């Protein structure tokens, strides 16, 4: 591994010598590692090396162009705020192809902590602030400049249509064992897809959104526990404001991990939801339209069903999209997300009330 890393580092003209490489395992798509370089004077510097999954991101060069546009825009408009810094090759590219034709990029490693789970409500509120702030930073950015990295990424209706059509084809003979899951999704199919249908008909503003707002995509200062910067900009595209809110609470307000097999541990924590609301709406609440504000809870339900259906679709079609650590991983993830979606439905009235109070 270090051999490949060294060649890539050389293409980016990184000074010093690569001495260690630690894998970062919390992404489900790209391969990421933190690499330490030692300079001749003994000092060290760390970089993040990432191999982009080109089966998922079919045009990674355009993704890097998007990221460049977004980070340059933020840098110009908010020069005092940190942005991600990608390295460039001698011919000015912010990516290289390795000998094996894999697509690599390198950015500076920010000394920070991230939270996969978190019981500290003030950190959750700060996470809401960070994602809200990110939307604010890009509020006037012209989204038509952005290439759509994964078309229909959060088109829930289309995701559900795809699931049911693959279930009919049953390419891996796995459909018989997922009847219960498919049955439940069928009963909520219309409700879960409704916002995406309304978005397509122009009922909600098209915003520039992050689209992958897991809490571990915010870097925090180790000491102050203040957010430093939002990372993972691969899916920054035009989208619905409320889906960024929704994907974040889907992840952070779950009392268990996203792939918890013991469903008795999975529930939607209303106090975590309240804390995130406070942070997010404190930033963007005054910019959102009333229909957007009124859809935050439904969006939380919708994106949870959407992700369940993406995991289930991947299970049915042979685990080609998400990294899996064991054979039934996608099925376990599906069940966890469905249990969470059910709990969001059960708590809907209470959650609506929390949104009204947070506004």
For CA atoms 279, 281, 204, 345, give the dihedral sign.
positive
Cβ atoms < 10 Å from Cβ of 64? 20
Is residue 27 a contact residue for ligand GN1 (CB under 6 A)?
Answer: yes
Question: Of these partners, Mg ion, ligand GN1, none, which one is at the site of residue 337 (CB under 5 to 8 Å by kind)?
Answer: none
Are 249 and 300 a contacting pair, CB within 8 Å? yes
Query: Closest separation between CB of residue 310 and Mg ion, Å?
Result: 13
DSSP for 187-242?
A: HHHHHHHHHHHHHHTT-S--EEE-S---GGGEEE-TTT--EEEE---TT-EEE-HH
Distance CA(359)–CA(282), nearest Å, equals: 8
Residue 271 tokens read as: 């106090």
Is residue 258 a contact residue for ligand GN1 (CB under 6 A)?
Answer: yes
C-beta of 212 vs 292, nearer to ligand GN1:
212
Q: Which residues lie closer than 8 Å to 178 by C-beta, 6 or more apart?
A: 167, 312, 315, 316, 331, 334
Q: In which region does residue 103 sit, left (phi positive, over 0), alpha (psi from -120 to 50) or beta (all else)?
A: beta
# of chain residues touching Mg ion (CB under 5 A): 2
Are 251 and 127 a contacting pair, CB within 8 Å? no
Alpha helices in 29-171 (DSSP H): 60-77, 121-137, 156-169
154 to 72, 111, 253, 292: CA distances (angstroms): 25, 31, 20, 16
Query: Closest separation between CB of residue 336 and ligand GN1, Å?
Result: 11
Query: Closest separation between CB of residue 114 and ligand GN1, Å?
Result: 12
One residue of 20, 21, 24, 29 binding ligand GN1 per CB under 6 A: 29
Is residue 232 a contact residue for ligand GN1 (CB under 6 A)?
Answer: yes
C-beta of 295 vs 309, nearer to Mg ion:
309
Q: Which residues 198-227 are close enough to bind ligand GN1 by CB under 6 A?
A: 212
Question: Of these partners, Mg ion, ligand GN1, none, which one is at the site of residue 258 (CB under 5 to 8 Å by kind)?
Answer: ligand GN1
Question: Of these partners, Mg ion, ligand GN1, none, which one is at the site of residue 28 (CB under 5 to 8 Å by kind)?
Answer: ligand GN1
Is residue 28 a contact residue for ligand GN1 (CB under 6 A)?
Answer: yes
C-beta of 250 vs 347, nearer to ligand GN1:
250
> Residue of minimal CB distance from Mg ion?
212
Q: Which residues 158-197 are close enough to bind ligand GN1 by CB under 6 A?
A: none
C-beta of 37 vs 215, nearer to ligand GN1:
215
Are 115 and 216 a contacting pair, CB within 8 Å? yes
C-beta of 9 vs 330, nearer to ligand GN1:
330
Is residue 260 a contact residue for ligand GN1 (CB under 6 A)?
Answer: no
Q: Which residues 197-236 are close enough to bind Mg ion by CB under 5 A?
A: 212, 232
Is residue 244 a contact residue for Mg ion (CB under 5 A)?
Answer: no
Distance CA(323)–CA(28), nearest Å, equals: 5
Is residue 283 a contact residue for ligand GN1 (CB under 6 A)?
Answer: no
Distance CA(146)–CA(270), nearest Å, equals: 35
> Which chain residues interact with Mg ion by CB under 5 A?
212, 232
């Amino acid at each position: 591994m270090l051999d490949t890393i060294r060649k890539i580092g050389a293409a980016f003209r990184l000074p010093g010598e690569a001495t260690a490489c630690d894998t970062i395992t919390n992404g489900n798509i790209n391969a990421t590692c933190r690499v330490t370089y030692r300079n001749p004077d003994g000092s060290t510097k760390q970089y993040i090396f990432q191999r982009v999954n080109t089966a998922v991101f079919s045009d990674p060069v355009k993704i890097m162009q998007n990221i460049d546009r977004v980070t340059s825009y933020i840098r110009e408009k908010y020069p005092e705020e940190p942005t991600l810094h990608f390295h460039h090759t001698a011919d000015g590219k912010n990516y290289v192809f390795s000998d094996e034709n894999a697509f690599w990029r390198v950015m500076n490693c920010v000394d920070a902590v991230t939270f996969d789970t978190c019981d500290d409500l003030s950190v959750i509120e700060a996470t809401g602030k960070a994602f809200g702030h990110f939307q604010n930073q890009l509020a006037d950015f012209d989204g038509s400049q952005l290439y759509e990295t994964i078309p229909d990424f959060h088109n829930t209706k289309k995701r559900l249509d795809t699931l049911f059509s693959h279930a009919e084809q049953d390419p891996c003979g796995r459909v018989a064992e997922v009847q219960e899951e498919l049955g439940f999704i069928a009963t909520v199919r219309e409700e879960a897809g409704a916002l995406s249908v309304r978005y397509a008909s122009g009922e909600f503003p098209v915003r520039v959104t992050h689209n992958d707002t897991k809490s571990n995509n915010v870097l925090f200062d180790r000491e102050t526990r203040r957010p430093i910067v939002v990372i993972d900009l691969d899916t920054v595209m035009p989208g619905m404001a409320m889906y960024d809110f929704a994907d974040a609470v889907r992840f952070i307000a779950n009392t268990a991990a996203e792939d918890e097999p013991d469903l008795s541990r999975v529930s939607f924590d209303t106090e975590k939801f309240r804390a995130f609301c406070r942070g997010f709406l404190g930033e963007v609440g005054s910019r959102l339209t009333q229909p957007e504000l009124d859809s935050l809870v439904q969006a939380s339900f919708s994106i949870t069903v959407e992700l369940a259906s993406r995991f289930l679709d991947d299970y049915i079609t042979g685990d080609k999209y998400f990294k899996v650590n064991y054979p039934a991983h996608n099925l376990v993830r599906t069940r966890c997300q469905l249990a969470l979606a059910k709990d969001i439905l059960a708590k809907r009235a209470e959650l609506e009330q929390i949104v009204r109070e947070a506004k």
